[in-house]
Chains A and B, each alone.
Chain A
Amino acid sequence: MTGRILLKTALFFLIWMALSGKFNFLHLTIGLGLSLGIAWLNTWPLTGDKMRVSWVGVLTYVPWLFSRILASSIHMVRLILDPKLPIDPQLFGHQTSLPHHAAVVLLGNSITLTPGTITVEVSPNELTVHSIDPASSNDLLSGTLEKKVATVFPSQPRMKA
């Protein structure tokens, strides 16, 4: 426990020094105090369950999500600038069977981050999504987004809701 706190403190302190770029007494003591405090806060259990994250999954997921965000942004610009304003908003529930709370959170955040779709309500099994037109929710309805999220959190048994 203490070892973990010290390790995290050292890491945060390094980041502090890199970002502040000042090495006088005042900056270093403030940085050390904050690093220690944040490292201590970090030991509080937030979810209570362990998770495994595939870093390869993360490194492929982020660029993919970004390309989707770019594509739907352009779609959104077209919708807004169209003189007829051809929007068709819908509110629908989406069942999900992702293994972990963190995975559902990532799915919900990805949906909200993509222009054109917003997660309105979240539960471990279902997301309520508002979309501005049917084309915006294609990725979600076809299950592509969920499959990509699953690659970030590999092979874990489904936890109880």
Chain B
Amino acid sequence: MGGPRRRMATTIAIIFLSLGLFFLLVAAIGMVRLPDVFARAHAVGLTDTMGAFFMLFGLAIYEGFSLNMLKILVVFSLLYLLNPVVTHATIRAALRAGVKPWMKGPS
């Protein structure tokens, strides 16, 4: 496991990966619990943003300053640019196909 520096980096990486896993788990639970496409898309948004962020951040710390850290940063910025576009396209397609959003109340 190398010196104390390396061990500390590994510990911090594990903490961040666990945080990311927590968000991924909650998003999966949301996928099951929420009532319709629109609400489920919000749960998936959790994966896209916080889940991916903590996972990639953990990996970047584990890698240390290297070429791979730079690549992780590139993946990270691309993810944050592309995810909203994909989510928006999916949801707009659902609405145009005539899916009625679930609303609260007696229905």
Q: Which of A69, A91, A110, A112 contacts B101 (CB 8 A)?
A: A91
State whether the Cβ of A53 lies closer than 8 Å to any Cβ in chain B.
no
Q: For A88, what are the chain B residues with a Cβ–Cβ distance below 8 Å?
A: 104
- Supposing A77-B46, A115-B49 touch, asked if A19 and B26 sit within 8 A by C-beta, the answer is no
Distance, CA A70 to CA B39, complexed state (A): 19
Q: Mark B65-107, 1 if CB is under 8 A from A, else 0.
A: 0010011001000001101110110011001000001111000
Q: What is the interface of chain B mostly: helix, strand, loop, or mixed?
A: helix
Q: Say how far B38's CB is from chain A's closest CB, in angstroms.
A: 5
State whether the Cβ of B34 lies closer than 8 Å to any Cβ in chain A.
yes
State whether the Cβ of A31 lies closer than 8 Å to any Cβ in chain B.
no
Interface size class of B (residues with CB under 8 A): 35 or more
Q: For A70, what are the chain B residues with a Cβ–Cβ distance below 8 Å?
A: 50
Interface size class of A (residues with CB under 8 A): 20 to 34
Q: Say how far B10's CB is from chain A's closest CB, in angstroms.
A: 24
- Supposing A118-B42, A118-B87 touch, asked if A87 and B92 sit within 8 A by C-beta, the answer is no
- Interface, chain B (partner A; CB < 8 A): 23, 26-27, 29-30, 33-36, 38-39, 41-43, 45-46, 48-50, 67, 70-71, 74, 80-81, 83-85, 87-88, 91-92, 95, 101-104
- Interface, chain A (partner B; CB < 8 A): 18-19, 21, 69-70, 73, 76-77, 80-81, 85, 87-91, 108-122, 130, 132
Knowing that A88-B104, A91-B38, A132-B39 are A-B contacts, what are 11 other residue pairs whose CB atoms are under 8 Å apart, sorted by A's residue number? A70-B50, A76-B43, A80-B29, A89-B38, A108-B88, A112-B84, A113-B45, A120-B88, A121-B95, A122-B88, A130-B101
